[in-house]
């Protein structure tokens, strides 16, 4: 029986994988159920002030949306590699260091996994993006060190790391019958990560896979960025984004960027921010929009709004247009958003991701036509424009969709078995 687990601490969702005797080497066989029988636990924490308790995942989102007083925190992984990680926030009148917040969530993942497995885990392989931070090796190293310290603080005695796209490659490899050159495209909530890997049944048993990994690359662009730019292009103009003061000066964009970015939404709720908005409202050229913004902030409905935008983004993967119900705005209403408008909003982001894939081929000295398969994983790989851009860069490759939320966790479980036994 494998002694270690594989832990995928994701920006949007997290999983824990563990290989048991006789279990299939797949996401369905490896992932432990963490909430309501499901293998994913949304990376969300809600500090419920009414009941003075902490809840996680779907339960956290449900209690927040039901209107309980408290503090919702999401996209916790985005703190790694930023200056915020050494800071703190206020919860129920008490200071909470962000490191402690990460420890609470990862500790909860460990507790739930151990409860399902019926045993403790002291060893783990953690997934990590190719780059926590773009173009800053020192900050990237510090982010991994921070995650290591947090993991040890909750009881993981031995911790190893694996690139998330390589973990997904291991999961895909468990089900193929011949050797392939595979482009792994892992589009997650916070990063887009890629690996070019030679995979096959004969290679799978090797302990040292370094010569099979031709190149790794990544960029700090993911699903939360797509949410942000969809929000800025569609919803935030209703709240005054892009409008002016009577003097002709622009309303500062920082309020809107904070509200459109998951891990900074709470910054819009500060007393200082609200006081500044009160001053701006007196001189706004479109005061009704600023009033709507102030009402949203006073109701602490920023996370609710972000959830509506995220749902619209997901809907646009399957439909050409969707309606966003804005019933908590004042006055309430609805807004139609289109796939064409969404794609225009994220065009520059997709260009950056495409450039990252192009650099990967150059780094590996591999021609795109040599790629046999593109393996898509990660919840944000469903964004149509992004998938088509990546697919067009290796047009002869077949496209395979893995378990969008489970391939990495299953691959990490395989890696944990190989590293720790």
SS3 helix, strand, coil % of the chain, rounded to 5?
50, 25, 30
DSSP 29-98: HHBPP-BTTBS-EESEEEEETTTTEEEEHHHHHHHHHHT-SEEEEE-GGGGTTSGGGG-EEEETTEEEEH
Q: Over its length of 421 residues, how does the chain's per-residue pLDDT go in tens digits?
A: 678 999 999 999 999 999 987 666 666 679 999 999 999 999 999 999 999 999 999 999 999 989 899 999 999 999 999 998 999 988 888 999 999 999 999 999 999 999 999 999 999 999 999 999 988 999 999 999 999 999 999 999 999 999 999 999 999 998 999 999 999 999 999 999 999 999 999 998 777 888 999 999 999 999 999 999 999 999 999 999 999 999 999 999 999 999 999 889 988 998 999 999 999 999 999 999 999 999 999 999 999 999 999 999 999 999 999 999 999 998 999 999 999 999 999 999 999 999 999 999 999 999 999 999 999 999 999 999 999 999 999 999 999 999 989 999 999 999 999 899 8
* Neighbouring C-alpha atoms within 13 Å toward the C-beta of 242: 8
CB 282 within 8 A of CB 291: no
- 393 phi-psi bin (left φ>0, alpha ψ -120 to 50, beta other): alpha
- Alpha-carbon gap, residue 61 to 55, rounded angstroms: 9
Name the residue ranges covered by the structural domains of the chain: 224-338
386-419: pLDDT as tens digits: 999 999 999 999 999 999 899 999 999 999 998 9
Q: Give dist(CA 303, CA 128) in Å, integer.
A: 26
Token readout for 369 is 């036509």
């Amino acid at each position: 029986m494998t002694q270690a687990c594989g832990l995928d601490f994701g920006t949007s969702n997290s999983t824990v994988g563990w290989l048991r005797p006789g279990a299939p080497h797949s996401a369905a066989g490896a992932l432990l159920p963490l909430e309501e029988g499901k293998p994913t636990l949304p990376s969300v924490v809600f500090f419920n002030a009414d009941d003075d308790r902490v809840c996680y995942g779907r339960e956290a989102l449900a209690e927040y949306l039901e209107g309980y007083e408290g503090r919702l925190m999401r996209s916790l992984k985005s703190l790694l590699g930023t200056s915020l990680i050494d800071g703190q926030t206020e919860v129920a009148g008490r200071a909470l260091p962000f490191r402690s917040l990460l420890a609470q969530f990862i500790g909860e993942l460990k507790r739930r996994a151990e409860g399902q497995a019926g045993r403790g885990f002291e060893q783990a392989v953690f997934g990590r993006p190719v780059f926590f931070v773009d173009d800053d090796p020192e900050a990237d190293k510090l982010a991994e060190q921070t995650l290591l310290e947090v993991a040890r603080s909750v009881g993981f005695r031995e911790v190893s790391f694996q690139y998330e796209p390589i973990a997904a490659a291991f999961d895909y490899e468990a089900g193929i019958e011949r050797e392939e050159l595979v482009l792994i495209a892992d589009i997650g909530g916070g990063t887009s990560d890629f690996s070019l890997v030679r995979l096959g049944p004969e290679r799978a048993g090797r302990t040292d896979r370094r010569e099979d990994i031709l190149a790794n690359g990544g960029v700090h662009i993911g699903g939360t960025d797509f949410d942000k730019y969809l929000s800025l292009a569609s919803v935030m103009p209703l709240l005054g984004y892009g409008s002016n003061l009577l003097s002709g000066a622009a309303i500062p964009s920082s309020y809107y960027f904070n509200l459109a970015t998951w891990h900074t939404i709470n910054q819009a709720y500060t007393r200082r921010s609200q006081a500044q908005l009160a001053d701006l409202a007196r001189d706004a050229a479109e005061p009704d929009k600023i009033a709507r913004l102030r009402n949203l902030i006073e109701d602490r409905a920023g996370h609710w709004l972000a959830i509506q935008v995220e749902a619209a983004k997901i809907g646009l993967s399957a439909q050409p247009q969707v309606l966003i119900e804005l019933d908590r705005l004042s006055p309430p209403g609805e807004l139609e958003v289109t796939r064409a408008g969404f794609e225009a909003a994220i065009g520059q982001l997709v260009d950056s991701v495409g450039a990252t894939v192009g650099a990967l081929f150059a780094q590996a000295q591999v021609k795109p036509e040599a790629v046999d398969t593109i393996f898509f994983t990660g919840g944000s790989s469903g964004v149509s424009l992004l998938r088509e851009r990546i697919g067009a860069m290796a047009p002869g490759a077949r496209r395979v969709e893995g378990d969008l939320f489970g391939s990495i966790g299953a691959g990490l479980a395989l890696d944990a078995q190989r590293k720790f036994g």
